[in-house]
Every structure is written in C-alpha cells, then in structure tokens.
C-alpha cells in the first residue's frame, strides 16, 4: 500500500515537472499567444514601440554604450534595445515588445536557436551563450555579428532578464575577404593593359546604375547587399586576364582568330578564380561581362535576361569607361560621343532598359570619370 502511494506521488511529481518543462511550455505559449497564460513567467514590461528602461533593468548601464545591446525576458520577449542597437538595425523599427525570434529567427542556424532557448529556459552553460548571426532586414546590408548572451542577474533562482550583445564584424570580415581578392586583382593588373583607375571607376559606375534601379519595378533582386557587392565585384571583371599570355594581351593592332579564342578565355578563367568567392555575383560578372543582349557575345552566347543582371550592368560600365579612355587603337572619346555609341548598341549589345536608365544618369557617369581621372 505504502509503495503504491509513493509510486503515485512520484508519478504525480514527475507529471508536474513535465508540465513545467519550460521549452514545451514556452512553445505552447508562443503558439497560443495568450497573454494570460504567460503569467507563470516574470512580468512583462515591454510593449511594442519605444520604451525607456528603468534603473533596475540590466540594460541600463549599456544605454549609451557603443555596443548594440538589447535585453529580453524569460519568454524571449525584447524588453529594451539601446540606441546603438536601434542604429545597427535601422531596417527593423520597434523591435521592443516583439519576441526575439520573431525579429531575429532567420538570423541564426537551427542549432543556435535551440541552444539559445536552452540557455534561457534550462540554464545551459550557466545561462550564457555565444555564437554568430547573419542579420538581414529590409533596406539594410546584411550584418554579420558575433552574439553574446548572458543572464543579467544570477542571484535569484531563475534569471528574469537576459542581456544580448552584438559585436558587428561585418566590416572586419568584408575587409579581410576583399583584401585577399584585391591582391589577386593587383597581380592581374600587372599584366593587363587597362591602366590606372579603370577598375575603380567601373565599380563606381556599376554601383550608381544599381542604385538607380533600386526599388524600380522588375528589379527586386537589387537590394542593399546587391549594391554593396557590385560596388566591389565589378572591378573583378577582368581578373581572368592573369591567365592570358602577355603577347596577346599587349599586342598592338588587331588579334587574329586564334588569339581571339585565347583572349576570350579570360571570362572562364575569371569565373574559375572567383568560384571560391562567397557571393556568386563575382563569378557571374567575370563569366558574363562580354555576353551581348542579342546573343552574339561570349563565352556562351547567352541572350537577353539569361545574362545575369550584375553582368549586364558591368558591361555598360566597362564599355563606357573603355570608350572614354585612350587606348592604343583609339583616341579618348568625349562623354557625348560615348553616350551616342552606347545608345547605338542598345538592343544589340546592351540591355535596352539598362541603357535607358544609363541615359537618365549619364551625367553621374561623366562626373565619376572626371573625378577619378588617371
């Protein structure tokens, strides 16, 4: 009899424990979205919109910190975000009052999401976690951040507030990555007959044209990341010339058929060299910047929109600059003459819609050329 009672009691206690299992409870609550049922957790101060933290909040010491910091409660609801945080995530207004994973859910790997939940609810690793996030909000360049999460106060049984600190490593990562490819570009420039600041100007024109297309109908793929990437990767268009023999690259006068065949290989060589670059745009530009709208370009005679948008943009930027420059086979063209040449090649060489946009902003192309003369 005593054993039966003890068993019933133990099973009963176990059931109570299971019912209290925070992860399950949290998930059920999140699904239910019922404010009343959240009463089992610490009280929620946050309401959607701006908030001013009181002095007892863990975020208070970080209010004017240069580090983006926010605080959440045990339900993973955002309580406060300091001004550095608001500045970093300008694409997301009013994060306060929202659930952390409703705002940042897509920024973490599945394993990280699980660990963050277990850290907060089960106290895994002494209520602390660190990891990486790729945070992308509308109209914002993707932010790469090292994320640190820790309990604000461990003196009680279960901490009620947690601090999340973001270390923005976007620029650091970008600088490191781009410096490697810049070295490659410098090496290729030693061989190429494109002189001086050609590649810098092609970056600027391409960026400008992409900016002008941003938010225009039919150009959904152009966002802040696209603009940022093309503004660097356009300069890589001829990196494959590092594999082109010098006598062909620097030949005075026209190339014969065989030499042209070798010359055209620079597109495929460039794509091969840039295949390790994390963004596929690098490869697209190198491979397709000599394709033509009417399908007569190289290396694959792609036609129309089969040619990647990034390559269609760089193609106009590259030709504009090449025409403006003095080459061994031609004098420098004026801005007006260059415009006429590009207009003539609308629908044969270039995407006609892009040419229209180019014509609208051609004054900026001229300014970029003048400001960055060799």
Establish if 284 lies at the interface with Fe ion (CB under 5 A).
no
The CA-atom distances, in angstroms, between 128 and each of 58, 81, 163, 304 are 15, 19, 10, 53
Half-sphere exposure of 247 (CA within 13 A, CB side): 3
For residues 336 and 359, the answer to whether their CB atoms sit within 8 Å is no
Measured from the CB atom, is 119 or 188 closer to Fe ion? Answer: 188
Q: Specify the 3-state DSSP secondary structure of 214.
A: coil
Establish if 291 lies at the interface with Fe ion (CB under 5 A).
no
Closest CA to 291 of 281, 277, 301: 301
Measured from the CB atom, is 127 or 205 closer to Fe ion? Answer: 205
Query: Burial, 205: exposed, middle or buried (Cβ in 10 Å; 0-12, 13-18, 19+)?
Result: buried
Measured from the CB atom, is 77 or 229 closer to Fe ion? Answer: 229
Measured from the CB atom, is 103 or 325 closer to Fe ion? Answer: 325
For residues 321 and 198, the answer to whether their CB atoms sit within 8 Å is yes
| Only segment of 56-64, 149-157, 316-324, 335-343 that touches Fe ion (CB under 5 A) | 316-324
Alpha helices in the chain (DSSP H): 2-20, 22-32, 83-88, 100-104, 110-122, 124-127, 170-189, 198-213, 224-233, 246-249, 257-273, 281-288, 309-324, 335-344, 352-360, 362-371
Least separation, in Å, of the C-beta of 122 and Fe ion? Answer: 57
Establish if 318 lies at the interface with Fe ion (CB under 5 A).
yes
| Only segment of 67-75, 176-184, 236-244, 251-259 that touches Fe ion (CB under 5 A) | 236-244
Whether 241 is a known active-site residue: answer yes
The single residue of 45, 189, 241, 268 carrying the catalytic annotation is 241
Measured from the CB atom, is 119 or 267 closer to Fe ion? Answer: 267
Q: Would you say how long the chain is, in residues?
A: 374
Least separation, in Å, of the C-beta of 321 and Fe ion? Answer: 7
Least separation, in Å, of the C-beta of 235 and Fe ion? Answer: 9
Half-sphere exposure of 18 (CA within 13 A, CB side): 6
Establish if 265 lies at the interface with Fe ion (CB under 5 A).
no
| Only segment of 47-55, 136-144, 206-214, 230-238 that touches Fe ion (CB under 5 A) | 230-238
Least separation, in Å, of the C-beta of 269 and Fe ion? Answer: 10
Instruction: Give the footprint of Fe ion on residues 245-264 (CB under 5 A).
Output: none
| Only segment of 11-19, 150-158, 242-250, 314-322 that touches Fe ion (CB under 5 A) | 314-322
Q: Would you give the distance in Å from CA 26 to the centre of its chain?
A: 32
Establish if 238 lies at the interface with Fe ion (CB under 5 A).
yes
Angle between helices 257-273 and 281-288 (to 10 degrees): 180
Least separation, in Å, of the C-beta of 55 and Fe ion? Answer: 60
Least separation, in Å, of the C-beta of 276 and Fe ion? Answer: 20
Measured from the CB atom, is 75 or 238 closer to Fe ion? Answer: 238
Least separation, in Å, of the C-beta of 229 and Fe ion? Answer: 18
Q: What is the DSSP letter of 142?
A: P
Measured from the CB atom, is 159 or 308 closer to Fe ion? Answer: 308
Q: Hey, CA dihedral for 128, 161, 143, 222, is it positive or negative?
A: positive
| Only segment of 1-9, 318-326, 337-345, 364-372 that touches Fe ion (CB under 5 A) | 318-326
The CA-atom distances, in angstroms, between 84 and each of 105, 140, 267 are 20, 15, 43
Give the gyration radius of the chain's Cα atoms.
29
| 145 φ, ψ (degrees, to nearest 5) | -135, 140
State the number of binding residues for Fe ion (CB under 5 A): 2
Where along the sequence are the contacts to Fe ion (CB under 5 A)?
238, 318
Q: Which residues are catalytic?
A: 241
């Amino acid at each position: 009899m005593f054993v039966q009672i003890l068993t019933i009691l133990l099973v009963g206690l176990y059931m109570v424990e299971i019912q209290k299992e925070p992860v399950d409870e949290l998930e059920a609550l999140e699904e239910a979205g019922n404010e009343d049922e959240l009463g089992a957790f610490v009280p929620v101060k946050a309401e959607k919109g701006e908030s001013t933290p009181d002095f007892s909040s863990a975020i208070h010491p970080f209010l004017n910190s240069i580090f983006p910091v926010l605080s959440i409660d045990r339900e993973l609801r955002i309580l406060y975000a300091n001004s550095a945080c608001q500045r970093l995530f300008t694409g997301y207004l009013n994060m306060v009052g929202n659930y952390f994973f409703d705002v940042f859910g897509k920024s973490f790997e599945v394993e990280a999401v699980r660990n963050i939940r277990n850290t907060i609810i089960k106290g895994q690793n002494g209520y602390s976690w660190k990891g990486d996030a790729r945070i992308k909000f509308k109209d914002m360049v993707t932010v790469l951040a090292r994320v640190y999460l820790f309990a604000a106060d461990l003196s009680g049984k279960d901490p009620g507030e947690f601090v999340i600190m973001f270390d923005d490593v976007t620029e650091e990562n970008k600088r490191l990555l781009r410096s490697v490819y810049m070295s490659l570009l410098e090496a290729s420039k030693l061989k190429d007959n494109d002189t001086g600041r050609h590649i810098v100007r092609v970056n600027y024109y391409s960026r400008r044209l992409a900016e002008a297309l941003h938010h225009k109908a039919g150009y959904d793929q152009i966002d802040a990341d696209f603009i940022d990437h093309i503004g660097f990767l356009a300069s890589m268009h001829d990196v494959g010339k590092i594999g082109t023999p010098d006598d062909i690259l620097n030949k005075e006068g026209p190339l014969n058929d065989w030499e042209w065949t070798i010359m055209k290989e620079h597109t495929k060589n460039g794509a091969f060299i840039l295949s390790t670059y994390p963004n596929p745009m690098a490869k697209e530009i190198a491979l397709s910047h000599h394709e033509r709208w009417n399908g007569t370009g190289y290396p694959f005679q792609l036609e129309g929109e089969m040619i990647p948008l990034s390559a269609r943009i760089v193609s106009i930027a590259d030709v504009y600059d090449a025409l403006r420059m003095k080459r061994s086979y031609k004098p420098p063209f004026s801005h007006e003459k260059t415009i006429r040449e590009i207009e003539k090649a609308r629908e044969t060489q270039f995407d006609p819609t892009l040419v229209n946009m180019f014509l609208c902003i051609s004054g900026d192309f001229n300014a970029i050329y003048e400001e960055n003369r060799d």
